[in-house]
Amino acid sequence: MMIGSGLLARAFAPNYANQDNVCIYAAGVSNSACRDPHEFEREHTRLSEALRQHADANTFVYFGTCSVADPEAQATPYVQHKLAMEALVRSHPQHLILRLPQVAGHTPNPHTLLNHLYARISRSESFTLWQNARRNIIDVDDVAAVARYFIDTSDARKLTLNIANEISYPLPEIVAALERVTGKRAIFDTEPRGSGYSIDIAAIRPALGVADVKFGPNYLDRVLDKYYGKHD
């Protein structure tokens, strides 16, 4: 059972759309800059109803955010909302909460970091670059592959896991990679702002080999070329 129709829902649908015993909740607020209480309340209502309807599911999957570990983001309305939704999901006896970083994939959502940067660079529009910021990037297909390992393991329940890359990239490195993909030079001003934070992925390491997910020095370029490169 799939709830949602966006990037994550499409990645999980081939395996779980027709499974009544697994509920993938891939809906809700998708803009981390959101401050609208009506949007948060809408997700609260929809999620509460989904938990009620699928109380007997063998697995109820909810997607949180790794930003709960980011000192600069912890107090934002979005992160506080996501934590509240996680607490709600924990009422389900077979819950599985998967916290995600910046997920790369084909999506029209203009609020994702990668879509925002790609649009600015490809249209030669100026933007402000936080020089000290680091962001963790992972392919949505890798998210789905790692998640399947835990969803299909019967004892992997009542868990909160980070599914993330083993490294986070400096924002200037991400911009440089997008310059290579687009063949255009980014136009930006820099500000000495931003920071990075560690994401513990020890719990998912057993799944990486099974899922054939390989991070490494070329991972960022491979992922950006996959979703933003020009292919014949």
Pairwise CA distance, residues 160 & 107, whole Å: 25
pLDDT for the residue numbered 232: 60
Tell me, what's the pLDDT at 42? 95
Q: How far apart are CA 19 and CA 43, in angstroms?
A: 23
The pTM of the whole model exceeds 0.85 = yes
Q: Give the tens place of pLDDT for each residue, 83-131.
A: 999 999 999 999 999 999 999 999 999 989 999 999 999 999 999 999 9
Q: How far apart are CA 99 and CA 89, in angstroms?
A: 13
Q: Model confidence over 121-175: pLDDT tens digits? A: 999 999 999 999 999 999 999 999 999 999 998 889 999 999 999 999 999 999 9
Question: Is the pLDDT confidence value at 230 over 90?
Answer: no
> What is the mean pLDDT of the segment spanning 219-229?
97
* pLDDT bucket at 231, cuts 50 / 70 / 90: confident
Mind listing the pLDDT tens digit for each residue in 41-80?
999 999 999 999 999 999 999 999 999 999 889 899 999 9
- For 215-219, what is the mean pLDDT? 94
pLDDT tens-digit readout, 16-48: 999 999 999 999 888 888 999 999 999 999 999
Task: Out of 3.20.20.100, 3.90.1300.10, 3.40.50.300, 3.40.50.720, select the CATH number for domain 2-228.
Answer: 3.40.50.720
